[in-house]
Structure 1
Amino acid sequence: MPVITSVLFIISIVMLFGGGNYFLAAQRAGVYPPRRVLQQRAVTIGGAGGVMFLLAIFMTWAV
């Protein structure tokens, strides 16, 4: 079980950083794809990373 929670923590951190990267890319001028698409990707990936982080925390408490 500790291996699973460690993997979930790592994946969630990577997804949160990815969402942050898309968010920062949306703030720059002259980027492609359009700003709206980058913001949608940031919310989607960041939200999924947050859910996985909460799941990993709950799994840690269950053990």
Structure 2
Amino acid sequence: MSDDNLHPYTIEVAPLAKPKGFFGWSVRKHGKLLERSDRPHESEAKAHTSALAAVERAFRAGTETRRR
């Protein structure tokens, strides 16, 4: 899943205050918080990759419930 196909999800990656030098992420759906990282990531890229995996899980969960 690429960033172009994320609608209605948005990913926000930001540096953490503690521990310094680490990053966290949050995923929003239609502007409402859906999920937030619970652990620090060593780089912005690793945080973004982890957030994309969370979006994919949320997207799959949404499609599985619609099929039933």
TM class by shorter-chain length? 0.3 to 0.5
Relative contact order, higher structure (CA 8 A, sep 6+): 1
Q: Which has the higher strand share?
A: 2
Q: Which has the higher helix share?
A: 1
Normalised to the residue count of structure 1, the TM-score between the two structures is 0.47
Return the index of the structure with the highest Cα Rg.
1
Normalised to the residue count of structure 2, the TM-score between the two structures is 0.44
